[in-house]
Amino acid sequence: MTEFDPFAELRADCARCFALCCVVPAFAASADFAIDKPAGTPCPNLLADHRCGVHDSLRDRGFAGCTVYDCFGAGQKVAQDTLGGRPSPRAREVFPVMRDLHELLYYLTEAATLDAARPIHADLRAALAETERLTGGTVDDLARLDVTEHREAVNSLLRQASELARADIGQKVDRRGALLIGADLRGAKLRGASLRGAVLLGADLRNADLNRADLTGADLRNARLDGADLATALFLTQSQVDSARGGQDTRLPERLRLPAHWLTRPARTAADRSAPRRRSTGSPRPGRTRRYRGRAGS
């Protein structure tokens, strides 16, 4: 008997979508996206059958951002349910709203599985039900919906769930919104840390302990995760993992997979394997913190 997977409908299924992520969002030329693309304009690599013409070489061609984008299943929800399987220009109005709602569903689903959050499970289930109800709205309903107020209510619950899940850990590091670009955090003891919205772009987290660290909205692009333990990290998404660098010795939550590009990287050198384990609290340099808000807020 197949075990029920509560996250199944919160993973992108491109075969059931109209390539909405290749059409709706705007992208500026950067290290993550090789060209400028206005909102609502199909990517020039998009084929007539809604498939990507360069899918197998996106990273080599400068489109790494495409490989880490996650709609949390909003694409197929809009395509098949909201639009009834028929492409429509109005997808541009509803897809961003649906993606926000599905991201909240992802976090709420995880929070509802946390035993330590049992005192608020009823509230989490109610928030899940309300978010699900909102996703079932018509095109007009979704186009009119302002997700901000609902997101704020959900974020309050998620913060409570995080506190409950980390309550039994003694001294915890609080680096919410910290600017930790390129920080040397090798071997850092970050168990139970709050890293909500932290900018860890290019940070070296090799061999770090991130069990039960709250990573909601943390920017992990190009962060080194070789040997890091994130097996019980809180609110970690596949997109965050895909944007980082790691290897087979990186421990992830069971629902997440090792990215293919991790497994095709050159073998680690002896210097990598012997990287010193530094005791670090993850402190940024003085005057180097700021608030960084992901969609889920911090």
pLDDT, one tens digit for every residue, the chain (298 residues): 567 889 999 999 999 999 999 999 999 999 889 999 999 999 999 999 999 999 999 999 999 999 999 999 999 999 999 999 999 999 999 999 999 999 999 999 999 999 999 999 999 999 999 999 999 999 999 999 999 999 999 999 999 999 999 999 998 999 999 999 999 999 999 999 999 999 999 999 999 999 999 999 999 999 999 999 999 999 999 999 999 999 999 999 999 999 999 987 554 444 444 444 444 444 333 333 333 234 565 5
Question: Same domain, yes or no, for 130 and 179?
Answer: no
Question: Same domain, yes or no, for 160 and 249?
Answer: no
Q: Look at residue 4 and tell me if it is in a domain.
A: no
Q: Look at residue 142 and tell me if it is in a domain.
A: yes
Of 165, 188, 203, the position where a domain reaches its end is: 165
Question: Same domain, yes or no, for 282 and 157?
Answer: no
**pTM for this one?**
0.87
What is the pLDDT at residue 171? Answer: 87
What is the pLDDT at residue 39? Answer: 93
Q: Look at residue 109 and tell me if it is in a domain.
A: yes
Q: Look at residue 64 and tell me if it is in a domain.
A: yes
Q: Look at residue 3 and tell me if it is in a domain.
A: no
- Whose CA is closest to 65, among 253, 242, 207? 242
Q: Return d(Cα 144, Cα 14) in angstroms, integer.
A: 26
What is the pLDDT at residue 295? Answer: 53
What is the pLDDT at residue 264? Answer: 77
Q: Look at residue 147 and tell me if it is in a domain.
A: yes
Length of the chain: 298
What is the pLDDT at residue 263? Answer: 86
Question: Same domain, yes or no, for 153 and 198?
Answer: no
Using a 10 angstrom Cβ sphere, with 0-12 exposed, 13-18 middle and 19 or more buried, the burial of residue 119 is exposed
Rounded to a whole number of angstroms, the distance between the first and last alpha carbons of the chain is: 39
Q: Return d(Cα 169, Cα 96) in angstroms, integer.
A: 37
Question: pLDDT (tens digit, 9 = 90+) per residue, 91-101?
Answer: 999 999 999 99
Do the beta carbons of residue 227 and residue 204 sit within 8 Å? no
Using a 10 angstrom Cβ sphere, with 0-12 exposed, 13-18 middle and 19 or more buried, the burial of residue 3 is exposed
Structure tokens at 31: 């290290």
Question: Same domain, yes or no, for 128 and 226?
Answer: no
Structure tokens at 5: 């997977």
Do the beta carbons of residue 215 and residue 236 sit within 8 Å? yes
- Whose CA is closest to 227, among 265, 167, 171, 186? 186
Question: Same domain, yes or no, for 188 and 134?
Answer: no
Q: Look at residue 1 and tell me if it is in a domain.
A: no
Alpha helices in the chain (DSSP H): 64-68, 74-76, 91-113, 121-135, 139-144, 147-165, 238-243, 260-263, 270-273
Question: Same domain, yes or no, for 146 and 251?
Answer: no
Do the beta carbons of residue 221 and residue 205 sit within 8 Å? no
Question: Same domain, yes or no, for 157 and 179?
Answer: no
Question: Same domain, yes or no, for 118 and 186?
Answer: no
Q: Which domain range does residue 231 map to?
A: 174-298
What is the pLDDT at residue 78? Answer: 98
Question: Into how many domains does the chain fold?
Answer: 2
Of 137, 165, 193, the position where a domain reaches its end is: 165
Question: Same domain, yes or no, for 75 and 113?
Answer: yes
Question: Same domain, yes or no, for 79 and 225?
Answer: no
Of 133, 165, 197, the position where a domain reaches its end is: 165
What is the pLDDT at residue 1? Answer: 58
* SS3 per-residue string spanning 120-169: HHHHHHHHHHHHHHHHCCCHHHHHHCCHHHHHHHHHHHHHHHHHHHCCCC
Q: Look at residue 2 and tell me if it is in a domain.
A: no
Point out which residues pair with 214 in neighbouring strands: 194, 234
Question: Same domain, yes or no, for 125 and 184?
Answer: no
Q: Return d(Cα 105, Cα 136) in angstroms, integer.
A: 13
Burial 190-214 (b: 16+ CB within 10 A, else e): bbbbbbbbbbbbbbbbbbbbbbbbb
Q: Return d(Cα 161, Cα 107) in angstroms, integer.
A: 10
What is the pLDDT at residue 297? Answer: 52
